[in-house]
Structure 1
Amino acid sequence: MIKNTQVILKSTPEGEPNVSNFAFTESDIPTLNDKQVLCKTLYLSLDPYMRSQIAGRHISGSIKPGDVLHGETVSEVIESLDEHYKVGDKVRCMGGWQKYSLHSAKDLNKISEHINPSSYALSVLGMPGLTAYAGLVWQAKPKAGDVVVISAATGAVGSMAGQLAKIYGCKVIGIAGSDAKCAYAKEQLGYDECINRGTEDLASRLDELCPKGVDIYFDLVGGEILNTVSARLAIGARIILCGLMAEYNQKERIGGPPPGFWIRSRAKIYGLVVYDFEHRRQEFIDVCLPLINNGSLKTREDIAQGIAAAPEAFCRLMKGANMGKALVKVS
C-alpha cells in the first residue's frame, strides 16, 4: 500500500509563519471510485494567498489546525478510472501539500506538451502569469509612454507584469526589498528603474522618477506603499489591486488611501481576482508562450526540493526572501 506524506497546519501562526506551525503526517491512499484519478505530485506552488487562507479570510476558503494545506500542483496521473486521463498524463490540479492526491476527473486540467518544463504551468504560464496578464493587459490597458509602477517587482506576478509593460512600450518603475532584487529587475527583467523600499525614500524617488505622475499602479502589497503611490497618480490613472503582502501576517487590516487621491486623478480602480479570468487562460497562454520561447519573457523559479522542504520554503516566501516563483519539487 502506497503511503501518502502530507503537510498539515499544526497551529495558526501569530504574525509571520514559522516551520513549527506545520507538521507531517502519513495516510493510506484511498481506493478509486467511478471517474476518479490518482495523481502523484511533481511540483507544488507556494503563494502568498495561502497565508490569508490560514488567517481565515481568503475567498477560496480557510485552513484550520489539522487540515492539509491547499495548493495548486503539477501532477502525474498514476491510476485512472476515467477514459480522458491515462497513466503518465501531466495535469494541473489542486493537489495540496502532499505527495499524492485523488480527484474527480472534472477537477483536472491537462498540461500541453508545449509547456516545457511543466513547472511553467504554475509560474509564468500559470496563475501568476495569468494574474499579471489579466491585470495589466485586460484591465489596465497600457499604452506606449504610460508610466507603470509595480510593487513586489521581482515576484512571480510582478516580474511578469513588468516585462509585459515594457513590451507595450511603457516606462516601468519597480519597487523591491533589496539591492539584489532591484539589480535583477533592471538587468534581467528590463525595468527602467527599481526602488529599494528598505533603503530609499519611496516618496521622493517616485517624485524624481515619475514627475508627471503614475499612469498605472500594479499593487501587490497594499499598506503604506499603496498610500504613497496613490498620492502621485496622473489624471486617468488605473490601479490594479491584486495583493496584500503588507498585511497577510497581520491580525488587523491596514487602512487604505484617502479617496481624494483617486477622485482628483479620476482614477479607475480594479479589484483583480484571477479566478474571474480562468475562462481566458488559453488565450493568455497562446499570446505568452511564443514570447517565452523567443526569450522576450523571462522567468525565474525558486524551487525547494522535497515535500519536507515546503514549510521552510513557505516561511521564506512570507519573509520576502524568495527570488521569483516559489515552488517545491515534490517528486
Structure 2
Amino acid sequence: MIMSSDYYETLEINRHAPDAEIKRAYRRLALKFHPSCRETGSVERFSQLGEAYDVLSDPQKKATYDKFGEEGLKGGIPPEFGSSGAWSSKYEYHGNPDQTFRQFFGGDNPFADFFTNDAPLQFGGLQQVVVKTQDCHIERDLHLSLDDLFHGCTKKIKISRRVMNEDGCTSSIKDKILNIHVEPGWKEGTRVVFSKEGDQGPNSIPADIVFIVRQKSHPLFVRQQSDLIYKAQISLEMALTGFSVDVETLDGRLLTIPINDIVHPAYKKVVTGEGMPLSQNPSQRGHLIITFEVQFPEKLSAERKQLIKHALNFKF
C-alpha cells in the first residue's frame, strides 16, 4: 500500500516507539519548527507535526493507521474489517496545529514548561521569559516527647507526593522517607524545612514541607524554655522542719536534694545545670526548679492545736 506521508517519519521515530517517546519527539520538533521561531520555524512542517501527533497519540487512530495506513485512516475501514475493533470512521485532521500544540503543553502559554527562574531557553527569535511560581509551603506538626528533645533523635517520616514521570506530561504518586535529625534542646515551635519536597507539576515549583515541633506533655516535668519544673508534694511538718527530695532526671540519674529552708508558698529550690540542654550549646543546661505543694492536715484535735500554738509562740 502506498501512503502519501508517514507519521512516524514526520516525528522522526520508529514504528515501535512507545507513547512516552512519541510525546518527547513531538515536544522537541514542535518547539523547533514553531512558526514563532525565527531560525527554524516552518508553518508547513509545524502543521505536519500536529497531524502526526494527533494520530499517533490516540490509541484507536494509531491502531487504524498501523494496520491500514493513511488511506484506511482517512477513507474509512472496509466493512469486512469492522469487527477488528479498530477505529472505523473517516479521520480528518482539524487543521489547527496551534490547537494541538496548546493542548499538549497546556494553558495559554505553551512555552511555560521550558523556562525556569534561572535559565530561560531561547527558540530562535522567541525569547519569552516565564517565571515559575512556587506552591505555598505545607506545614505539618512533629510531635516529640520531652525525652526526644532532651537526648536528640532521628525521626523517619513517610510522605506521599505527586512526581512527574519521564515523559514530562503525566505524573504519579510516590512515597518518600524524610529523615529529621532532632538536636538536643530543640524547643516547641522549632521549624524544620524540607525544600521543594511537595507535589511536582509541569508549570510550578514544588512547595516546601515544614515540620513544626510540638512537645508532648511529661508526667513529672513541665518545661519553661531551658528550665525543667518539678512539683514535690510535702507535708506541713516537712515544710517546717526540713527534708530531702528525690528526683529522677531524664538521663536516668537520681538526685537527692536536701531542703533545709522553711518552705513558704513562694519558695522554690533551684538546682543549676540540671535542666534541658541549650540548643546552641548542648553541653550546657538550664535549671531544675523544684516547687512545692504543702499538704495540710484536714483535722486537728484540741490538744494538737494547743501544741502547735505553743510551738509557734516560742521565742526563737
Report TM bin, short chain.
under 0.3
Higher RCO structure (Cα 8 Å, ≥6 apart): 1
**With structure 1 as the length reference, what TM-score do the two structures score?**
0.22
